[in-house]
Structure 1
């Protein structure tokens, strides 16, 4: 079986950086299309109403201190509020939460139209009910990165509704190649 040829970087001025030419946007999308990501929804309120968006970029950085990172597109309708928010709620979703993930990913929809679906913490942040888990975080840093902003956040408190034992799949929700997937026993690869 022949291996595909490596992608050759474009050499035009728009993609040239200090390290040489970069991949085209299309080549970069192709690269990550086969790399699944866990699904989260991020909520915040900087004082003028709540916002929410679905993200697949949430990643833990450190357990002590408890830090995580995520990125959002500067084109997101939530970007302006997140640029000012001091705290955020990161909801870590599983397959039972796929409708909420779809809501956060849809443009032009009021993500808080159903008042039965969310409430506010005593500290004011909007939090969705019945999700697998959520964590309230203080935003400790922001970095411009191309057309996105990378956020660093310190975990302050959390709630886990559907815990999983070590080594179990727990109906994890992942986004892969433009579709939602549930991890389960059928997707487990046993160590030999």
Structure 2
């Protein structure tokens, strides 16, 4: 079957096609954390609100990610919504081989021993209810058990979310 004319140049489905298309999709930026002998965490743009009753969220994680062993074992995980002033924090948790919980990252042990990052716009602690295979990733479903929805503004009282678009972190424009 050929593509209808007038739609531009189409490409066969492949990982690079998916990445190219999703570079056009702006996504909110979150950091997911998991407890353990060494806490683990990573930057995620795949966070999704799944259901309100019961309150469920989901995110994807590669089984090759350095955080996967901790997330695969964790009974609870943390979800942190980042503000536009937290680009460096997002970059730290996205950087391979970084000591993500070393200074200047500010955090504390929260409910169920989950690492909770300070200064984020909002955070949740979720009980892991499923890890669903999805190619080279797992979709993790978490039931919200605690959190802080209060906005913790950044410099100059800003409380706007951090976004990821075109391969870089961005802020909303007025």
1:4 corresponding residue in structure 2: 8
2: distance between equivalents of 1:38 and 1:159? Answer: 18
Query: What SS does the corresponding residue of 1:123 show, helix, strand or coil?
Result: helix
How many pairs are equivalent? Answer: 165
Q: CA deviation at 1:163?
A: 6.9
Q: Distance in 2 between matches of 1:179 and 1:25?
A: 19
In the alignment, which of 117, 127, 131 is matched to residue 106 of structure 2? 117
Q: Could you report, residue by residue, the CA deviation over 1:53-76 in whole angstroms, capped at 9, with x for unpaired residues?
A: 000000001112111100011111
In the other structure, the counterpart of 2:3 is none
Residue 72, structure 1, aligned to residue 66, structure 2: no
How far residue 183 of structure 1 moved from its aligned partner, in angstroms, is 1.1
Change in Cα spacing, 1:61 to 1:49, as seen in structure 2 (3 Å) is same
Match of 1:100 in 2: 89
Q: Which residue of structure 1 aligns with residue 23 of structure 2? A: 33
Alpha-carbon deviations, 1:114-142, whole Å to 9, x = none?
Answer: 28711101521111111111000000001
Give the drift of 1:6: 2.6
Q: Residue 128 of structure 1 aligns with which residue?
A: 117
How far has the Cα of 1:152 moved from its partner?
0.5
Larger Cα-atom Rg = 1
CA gap 1:122/1:143 in 2 versus in 1, 3 angstroms:
closer
RMSD, aligned α-carbons: 2.0
Moved more, 65-74 or 109-118: 109-118
Moved over 3 A (4+): none
Q: Structure 1-normalised TM-score?
A: 0.80
Distance in structure 1 (CA, Å) of the matches to 2:111 and 2:54: 24
Q: Compare 109-118 and 139-148 and name the one that shifted more.
A: 109-118
* Matching residue of 1:138: 127
8 Å CA contact 2:58, 2:142 repeated in 1: yes
Structure 2 length-normalised TM: 0.88
Corresponding residue SS for 1:57: coil
CA 1:25–1:6 in structure 2 vs 1: closer, same or farther (change >3 Å)?
same
Shift in CA distance, 112/175, structure 1 to aligned 2, threshold 3 Å:
same
